[in-house]
Amino acid sequence: MFPFYLIKLCKHRGIYFANSLFRPIFRRNFAYGSLESTIYALATGGVRSAVAVVRVSGPKSQQVLQEIGQFRQFPLPRVATVKRLYDISGGSLIDHAMVLWFPGPKSYTGEDSCEFHVHGGPAVIHALLRNIGSFKGCRMAEPGEFTKRAFLNGKMDLTEVDGLGDLISSETEMQRVQALNQMTGSLGKLYESWRNDIAKCLADVEAFIDFGEDENIEDNILENVHGRLEFLLKIMKTHLRDSRKGERLRTGVTVAILGKPNVGKSSLLNILCRQEAAIVSDIPGTTRDVLRATINVNGYPVLLADTAGLRYDPADIIETEGIRRALKEAQSADIIVLLVDLNDPKLTCVSTERQLLIQEEIMGPLNWNEDMLSLVEERTLIVGNKLDLDRNKQLAVREDLFNAMISCKTSEGFDQFLSKLSEQVSTLCADPKSEEAYITHERYRSHLENCVLHLEEYLQESRKWSSRPQDCNIDFALQSVPLKNAMNSIGCITGHFGTEDILDIIFRDFCIGK
């Protein structure tokens, strides 16, 4: 049974609830331009193809479909229909096409929409777009405008919109799975459940503020709110302590290839990229700047960086700058691949340890403390190269120093190296196939951190209430403000509050027609 005092509070505050889920309904009053216009665009990109799809959405969609298709009997909703398309000014044939009719609200945008699947020749597409544009009230869509309308019409929340954008941009299998999970609402449902929990607590607090003990308020209502919020705060803090695994999977794991001149860094980059991305030469210092490439490692995105060779006596100021950039890359990389020449005499020394080897190869020119050295050691894979050279000399090499030993010339040992790299990459990224939800955008993290701060502010004040509940100087109305701010912080993630300033940022990266 819904508590009487909450029904009275809802009427008093102008808040309305749907069903028994106690879910607040907020009307969206956006001012992003009129939805009265009809938009259209080529949705399949500007490349020559067998089939091109042109989308139309808005109040003129039915008229556009009817007049260009010249239907005697209008097509059934969501049923593909083969039809000839005609020029509305001269009546000449444009193309034989397949058309689909999507009456709102059961469409992608929530509006009346239609699609023309025509042959992908530029002349066909141009003729169709010209005809659609000749209708009064029809205009070309802006980037992401179809999806923006879907959001404004309540078909998607902002986390689903971001998931769709990530799905379009995904290049690896794991990125695809994570984006698809988010697009289908997994993350949005989690955040919305937290927002609803805070809304329930806020309703209880405001009921206490407005009615006190005069309207049959439950005993210990504020203590119950305190306990529920403490539990929610614990869950949110655990969610934030994710080592940015979701964001790293979305953007890619950065891997810096470091080592002394002529150890094979550029050769390794070329083998991993399967193309000649870097110039390979026997001349020391060939690579001066940071060369970047993106590869797929067992479904995970990896951003490679080939760097200048590290040595104490650079030949000129350009190589000096290259070394500085290489060391800077080492500090920011998620993984360091330290490439070492297996024919180096120091590798046979019994006293050589992994940390000392890293310090000698990478840290020699720097004066870093032990903590920084340990941090670098944790994310460094030591890889011995030139396994194809003098085998007799290499028999004495300390194999325990290396994560893998390879030959960039013969590709020997590469399976072991890729296995080690894949293992390290997978531990740094989210597992999208698990049931755990991960933060995927920095924007989400920022709003969640703000929400945590607001909840902590409320809980800190609520402890004062419990210590002096009869204190007339406590303004309980002001003490509920942090809960409203916490709700709004989560609402900024899903799009239920304060979205005006972030909508354009989100949608501008979408392609035309999406």
Domain 38-146 shares a fold with domain 182-243+441-494 = no
CB 58 within 8 A of CB 135: no
Q: Which strand (E) or helix (H) includes residue 16?
A: none
Q: How many CB atoms lie within 10 A of CB 288?
A: 19
Helix (H, G, I), strand (E, B) or coil at 436: coil
Nearest by Cα to 79 from 52, 54, 50, 100:
100
Listed in order, strand segments (DSSP E) in 325-466 are: 335-341, 380-385, 404-405
Cα atoms in the Cβ-side hemisphere of radius 13 Å centred on 296 = 9
Give the model's pLDDT for residue 263: 87
| Structure tokens given for 261 | 């001149």
Residue 199 to residue 180: CA distance in whole angstroms: 29
Q: Cα angle at 378 between 377 and 383, to 5 degrees?
A: 65
Give the model's pLDDT for residue 91: 87
- Which class is domain 182-243+441-494? mainly alpha
> Per DSSP, what are the bridge partners of residue 96?
84
Q: Mean pLDDT in each 10-residue stretch from start to end of the chain (514 residues)?
A: 39 36 34 69 88 96 96 94 93 95 94 96 95 95 93 91 93 94 93 91 78 60 88 96 94 92 87 72 64 91 89 78 85 91 73 72 62 75 84 62 88 91 94 91 95 93 65 65 91 72 51 61
The pTM of this model reads: 0.81
CB 135 within 8 A of CB 158: no
Residue 394 to residue 220: CA distance in whole angstroms: 75
Strands 38-42 and 138-140: parallel
Give the model's pLDDT for residue 246: 95
- Which class is domain 253-428? alpha beta
> Per DSSP, what are the bridge partners of residue 341?
385
Residue 429 to residue 247: CA distance in whole angstroms: 8
Residues 6+ apart with CB under 8 A from 141: 39, 40, 41, 55, 57, 512, 513
| Structure tokens given for 151 | 């959001």
**Structural domain spans, the chain:** 38-146, 182-243+441-494, 253-428
DSSP string, 174-203: HHHHHHHHHHTTHHHHHHHHHHHHHHHHHH
Does the domain formed by 38-146 have CATH 3.30.1360.120?
yes
Give the model's pLDDT for residue 213: 54
Give the model's pLDDT for residue 87: 94
> Per DSSP, what are the bridge partners of residue 302?
253, 295
Helix (H, G, I), strand (E, B) or coil at 290: coil
The pair phi, psi for residue 301, each rounded to 5°, is -80, 135
Place of tokens 């950039």: 325
CB 359 within 8 A of CB 376: no
Residue 209 to residue 211: CA distance in whole angstroms: 6
Query: Three-state SS across 259-303?
Result: ECCCCCHHHHHHHHHCCCCCCCCCCCCCCCCCEEEEEEECCEEEE
Residue 405 to residue 384: CA distance in whole angstroms: 4
CB 162 within 8 A of CB 182: yes
| Structure tokens given for 70 | 């010249």
Residue 13 to residue 16: CA distance in whole angstroms: 9
Torsion of CA 470, 474, 476, 482, to 10 degrees: -130
